Amino acid sequence: RCRILGVYSKGSVGCFLIIVRRNEAMLRSNVHLTLLAMAAGCTAYIPATPMHSRRLTVATSIQGNPARIARKASGLGLRSVRSVAVNAQPNAPTAMDWDTLTDHQWGSVETEFMTIAKFSPETGDKWAPAEVMPYGDIPTSPRAAIFNYGQGLFEGMKAQRTAEGKIVIFRPDRNSRRANYGCERLMMPPVPEEIFVQAVKDVVLANAAWVPPAGQGTLYIRPLIMGSGPILALAPPASFTFMIYVSPVGSYFKGNQLTPIKLKLETGYTRAAPGGVGGVKAVGNYVPSLKPQKEAKEQGFDNVIFLDSEEGKYIEEVSTSNVFVVKDDVVYTPGVKGGGSPEDTILEGVTRDCLLTLCRDKGYEVKEGLVPVELMMTADEAFTVGTAVVISPIGEATHLGTTHKLAGEKGPITQYLYETLVGIQTGKIEDPYGWTIYLD
């Protein structure tokens, strides 16, 4: 039940910093202030890594005035031990051997910290600010609404590095907005934007060593909001939990980011129906897609494109992303009303919104609305878009046994959008929209 967070050394003397995770009060005690002072006077810091990927990491020298470092750390709690030590080379990516990142299953690498906020009668029936805690299991009642009725939603975001090594996040306000109207639909109290965005910043900086170097991956950010209070009756509980954890990741699909994928237009299963929750990131939307995905992969496809539930004539989205289709230099994508409208059967994607803006500013004609299967099966280019996949070009699309080959990664609009979006996200291209936020 203990966790070695790091090894501090001064000369030939070493000290293990150990936190007993069961005793959360210790995190708020004055003990960590003594440890901070000791860390500020040390010459090297070696961050510990989770047990499954334990390896010697690069020691970072601590520079700067110890008093200034201690002042900077005050009020930040345990997370400041990590950030103070790493700030020698500001937030250096020292957590693991990044050449091995793709050896791990996507999203399986555990990091060191998470953020947690609570809403309950004890907090005055309002959201308390999120606290940074050591990553690990959380105690939850078997009667929790999330377990019994699936009352929960999630978001997906990324932090990454610029070529200069700076850490940036991308449009967290949009994820906060989408989470909030999802909460309203699922009868959960919306998390105020300032609490949501600050929790994102805190968890990224606490895990700064886990943000891969530029070009070697990204730090995936997973916010969760759920009914954590006990209630057996079908009704909202009294308490809720908002948490964020992170994991360094490479490309979502096999190969590199622009490796073309093969998709099956799914005719046997549907994802969502009008009047349901297809327009919000409810946790219950995703598990039902696993069976059609499995069947499609057994047939040699990478994933499926779901069709509309009423007629089966129009494409909607892949289980993990929105879809764009290009024909004669016109860009098509299924339309949304947005804001969690019950009429929506697809998600109001953040990446989708970015690409629509980029297309219009480039002068491409853009059409949002119904996208017929026939258009998909005669298109010049097509690609899926989302936080996890970024932009994945579609190389082949198959409908009822008929396969149509597309331009894949060679599509000019696909290439332009990928290079421009990733360029903005990583600081290679000027951001005229104010989408990127630098954290260091």
Which phi and psi angles does 31 have, rounded to 5°? -60, -40
Q: How far apart, in whole angstroms, are the C-alpha atoms of residue 201 and residue 113? A: 12
Distances (CA, A) of 411 to 76, 237, 416: 48, 50, 9
Residue 133's SS3 state is: strand
**Secondary structure E strands in 124-239:** 126-127, 131-134, 152-154, 157-161, 167-170, 218-227
Looking at this protein, which amino acid is placed at residue 308? D
Alpha helices in 58-119 (DSSP H): 66-73, 79-86
- Catalytic residue numbers, as ranges: 281
Strand pairing report for 330-334 and 365-369: parallel
Provide CB contacts within 8 A for 17, sequence distance 6+: 4, 5, 6, 7, 8, 35, 39, 81
Contact 340, 181 (CB under 8 A): yes
Strand pairing report for 381-386 and 365-369: unpaired
Which phi and psi angles does 58 have, rounded to 5°? -70, 125
Tokens 């996507």 belong to 106
Distances (CA, A) of 215 to 89, 148, 159, 415, 423: 19, 41, 12, 17, 11
Q: By C-alpha distance, which of 328, 381, 318 is closest to 352?
A: 318
